[in-house]
Amino acid sequence: MPYIVGYKPRLNYQALLEERVVDFLMSDKGLIGLFDVFTSEGVIREPRKVDFSTLLVEAPKNMIIKEPNVEYEVKLKTPNYIEIEQNNRKLGELGEELVIEYERWRLIDIGRESYAEQVEWVSKDLGDGAGFDVLSKNKDGSDRYIEVKTTKLGELTPFYFSKNELKFSRKKSTRYFLYRVFRFNQHPNVFIKNGSFDEVCTYEPVSFIGIIR
């Protein structure tokens, strides 16, 4: 479930507190409805002047956040709201559009105007199978492969990526960049991590495919 922006996840709490809070969340239909609205709708991109000079911020410091195992029975199964939000196509497109605008600004700002004209929105033009979303340029003219992950929540919100994106990030690791767009509906910021997903984050499998043998 989404957490409150500005409150960092912590693991040092009493187990009984977790049980009481989850029981409350499971029984409050109105709250669940608010989560549904937040993750599936409510994407805002009002016409506004974006100050690209302040858009980029430092990436969060190394911080391992792992959900503890729940030892009691959860009475109701709830959707994965973080995953639903990321799969919100409108939110994803607006985040990618913001990154494209930033990349063009960045290239012009470093004196590479001709490269700015070559920035491509790959996921929109060719679909999601390329393994990245935006093709840009580095200062030396080499290709910069950008994967954009956007959230209306904070910078520590987990994100999801495909097997294809993982493979491509390994293949082009030195020129592969994760652009994490966060707080999109408030004052959006972006941090950048360079390298394969093996290098820029910790991850774990959340689904499997079974083939009968």
User: What are 154's two structure tokens?
Assistant: 């904070």
Enumerate residues 6+ apart whose C-beta is below 8 A from 34.
Answer: none
pTM score, two decimals?
A: 0.83
DSSP string, 52-77: TTTTB-PPPPP----PPPP-S--SS-
Could you read off the pLDDT tens digit of each residue along the chain, which spans 213 residues?
Answer: 777 777 766 667 777 887 888 888 778 878 878 888 777 766 766 646 789 999 999 998 766 655 556 555 555 567 788 888 888 888 999 999 999 999 999 999 999 999 999 999 999 988 888 999 999 999 999 999 999 999 999 998 999 999 999 999 999 999 999 999 999 988 899 999 999 999 999 998 888 888 998
C-alpha span between 83 and 132 (Å, rounded): 18
The DSSP bridge partners found for residue 194 are 177
Main-chain phi, psi angles of 64, to 5 degrees: -90, 115
Q: Shortest CA distance to 92 belongs to which of 80, 104, 84, 103?
A: 84
Every domain of the chain and the residues it spans: 15-60+73-200
